[in-house]
Structure 1
Amino acid sequence: KKIAFSSLRVIEPCAFEDTDLRELNLPEVEQIGVCAFVSNSHLRRIAIPLKANLFFIDPLADDSEIVDTAFSGCHINHVDLIGSIHETVSSLHMESWRNDMTHEINQINKTLENSYSSKQNTAVIRWWLQSVCSRIEHYKTEHLKVLKAATVLLELALWKAKLSEKDEDESSDCAKVKRIKIDVEDARSEARGSCGAGMNIIIKNVLPFLELK
């Protein structure tokens, strides 16, 4: 059976123990309890959102005491990440970042297929989710740095354009009326003010398209 739980957010412990599930779609799930899908021997494929703490873990347990049993006894060989993660990856500034994230996301299926038993797959999926979360947060931080640098460059470009325009007007006026004394600092101040207005328009209408979801 292929089942999609479109609105299910919390799956209680042992909720679907030993069923005939073959494919599972959990687009809105926030937490999966202990042994939630234990002994579903026909379960091969699951679709889940990117959440570092998707599987319930006793907050008092240390690393040596964590027992990952949500999918114990399931022969999962394919995991699909669903949600906004793919849009975020495609919006990353550098192609190398996008390629690295795509490789990290796809790595889970190679790992499940080649390396781990049905008793270990929950732990493998949990480690993978945490790794993907950590890496995408790193690249989002780097992307934000690039965006801030672009904002500065836009501001400087607008300021330079306004200042050049003002200088041209002043040169024309000086040619016509040589006795008029131009206050350069006032001109620069006015250019900065005009630039600020233009910058507000860019920040409001352009830069949001470059931000990550």
Structure 2
Amino acid sequence: MCLGYQVKALPVSNIQAEGRDDDDDEIFVYMGGDQVVPDDVRRVRIDKSVTIIPRDVFYHREHLIDVEFHDGIEMIGKWAFKCCRSLRSVKLMGVKIIAAAAFYFCTSLIDLEFGDKLETIGTSAFQFCTSLRSVIIPSVKTIGKRAFATCRQLTDLDLPEGLETIQERAFSNCHELKQIAMPLNCNCVVIAIELFWLCPKLITVDLVGGFHNTVASLHLDSWRNEMKDEINHINQVLPNTDARRKTAEIKQWMGLVTRRLNHFKVEHKAMLKEATTLLELALWKADLNEKEEGLVEREGVRTTRGRRKRARKEICITSGASIVIKNVLPFLELK
């Protein structure tokens, strides 16, 4: 029975010592339903008819090395592969939901690949996956409590722009974690309690998404430079921050960056509005002078004040300013 981190992972050499070559292993085809998975199964192919891997189905299959998933699988159930301590590779390209403890204590898992349909990673889903070194998640909305806690070899973590919630201690006790990439414009700005608890080597935080394009579009060089300094500040202070304080430091930094960027966006909008007004007046005045000269030539001395007033109104309408402002200036707006 899988009791926790104290249980030692089954060495790969012991598995091969049984006298069977990995390439010669018979592949077990999982069809779903009430099918019973043999305790000594080593290689599995999930049948195309299966869209949900049910609860417990591969629980504690210690000899299981490889599972061939297909893109139509939408959900991995609770404890589905818990304590599969020889499982090396998992590719979940079509999966939307990974339930609680689905791959808990898969201590030999090295190759982990997600698709762009993933929405939820449940509580402790990959906790104690102690061989994982790099995790790239292209799409997810919610990461549950302790989802990747105690992944002791994890060094790099990339989180997607669409992330909405990270729950407490999701990446705690990842002793080798050095670099994370995460979004700014999501609910993770209010970072969960002790998210990076006891990650002493965490020294680099990068921001992902359209944030950098927004900064690059700020009107003044001084604004852009100040934002770049604010963004880089976290990577200057993290190396000297206590492991128990890193989450709080990151949380405070993200709040400052957000507030500063919002300030500059307001200033940018005000400056753009002023420029829009000046452009409208300039276009109108240029067209007015040109057309008034033509009006004088046509009407001569008989041109009345009323005629000039009506002409100015027509010129304002046809000056082109409204077209420029409507179709050109919006491209200068910040997202």
Give the TM-score normalised by the residue count of structure 1: 0.87
How big is the shift at 1:184? 1.6
How big is the shift at 1:154? 1.1
Question: Higher relative contact order at CA 8 Å, sep ≥6: structure 1 or structure 2?
Answer: 1
Counting strand residues as a fraction of each chain, which structure ranks higher? Answer: 2
How big is the shift at 1:205? 2.3
How big is the shift at 1:191? 1.6
- The answer on 1:166 being equivalent to 2:300 is no
Unaligned runs of 5+ in 2: 1-132
How big is the shift at 1:29? 2.0
Query: How far apart are the structure 1 equivalents of 2:317 and 2:190?
Result: 54
Unaligned runs of 5+ in 1: 58-66
Query: How far apart are the structure 2 equivalents of 1:123 and 1:179?
Result: 78
Query: How far apart are the structure 2 equivalents of 1:147 and 1:9?
Result: 34
Deviations 1:90-130 (A, max 9, x none): 0000100000000000100001013x111110011111111
Residue 170 (structure 2) aligned to one of 28, 36, 42: 36
Q: Which residue of 2 aligns with 1:60?
A: none
Q: Secondary structure at the match of 1:54?
A: helix
How big is the shift at 1:156? 0.3
RMSD: 1.8
Superposition map of 1:30-109 within 5 A: 30-51=164-185, 53-54=187-188, 68-74=193-199, 75-109=201-235
Structure 1 stretches of 4+ moved >3 Å: 177-182
Q: Secondary structure at the match of 1:140?
A: helix
Query: How far apart are the structure 2 equivalents of 1:202 and 1:167?
Result: 22
Query: How far apart are the structure 2 equivalents of 1:172 and 1:55?
Result: 66
Greater mean deviation of Cα atoms: 48-57 or 86-95: 48-57
How big is the shift at 1:55? 6.0
How big is the shift at 1:204? 2.9
Could you tell me the percent identity over the aligned residues? Answer: 44
Give the TM-score normalised by the residue count of structure 2: 0.56
Bigger Cα Rg: 2
Alpha-carbon spacing, 1:105–1:55, altered in 2? closer, same or farther (3 Å): closer
Query: How far apart are the structure 2 equivalents of 1:180 and 1:212?
Result: 47
Q: Which residue of 1 aligns with 2:79?
A: none
Query: How far apart are the structure 2 equivalents of 1:209 and 1:98?
Result: 18
How big is the shift at 1:181? 4.3
Query: How far apart are the structure 1 equivalents of 2:148 and 2:239?
Result: 23
- The answer on 1:8 being equivalent to 2:161 is no
How big is the shift at 1:80? 0.4
Counting helix residues as a fraction of each chain, which structure ranks higher? Answer: 1
| Contact map agreement 1:55 1:70 (CA 8 A) in 2 | no
Query: How far apart are the structure 2 equivalents of 1:31 and 1:135?
Result: 22
